[in-house]
Amino acid sequence: MNETRKWILHRISAIILTPLYVWLYFSLIVLSTKNYSEAIYFFKNPLFSILTIVVFCVAFFHAKFSLSEFFEDYIHSKKIKDVANLLATILSIIPPL
């Protein structure tokens, strides 16, 4: 993937994450005022589940791109850079699952 495409995808993921983080923040504030049964109902809501999954998947994707850029800029050994990128890719796929 060329650098321009990586840069654009990184910015798009940041734009997607901004409203999702705001939504998650306010949802958790509202959730903190609920009792146990209302909280369970809140987590069973399909919209909350889907948006939470989207937040985590996009956040790990965004973090992987950020780490890749860091590795490209600051690690000069190609072998270490490749291993670091592979590890970042694996660690960005496993947690959202």
Could you tell me the domains of the chain? 3-93 (1.20.1300)
Contacts of 89 (CB under 8 A, 6+ apart): 64
In the numeric block, which tokens belong to residue 37? Answer: 């049964």
Would you state the pLDDT for residue 79? 94
Alpha carbon distance 89, 73 (integer Å): 17
Alpha carbon distance 66, 6 (integer Å): 10
| Inter-axis angle of helices 36-44 and 46-74, nearest 10 | 70
Would you state the pLDDT for residue 91? 86
Would you state the pLDDT for residue 97? 65
Would you state the pLDDT for residue 42? 86
Would you state the pLDDT for residue 12? 94
Kindly list the averaged pLDDT for each block of 10 residues, start to end, along the chain of length 97. 86 95 93 90 90 91 90 92 91 77
pTM of the complete model: 0.79
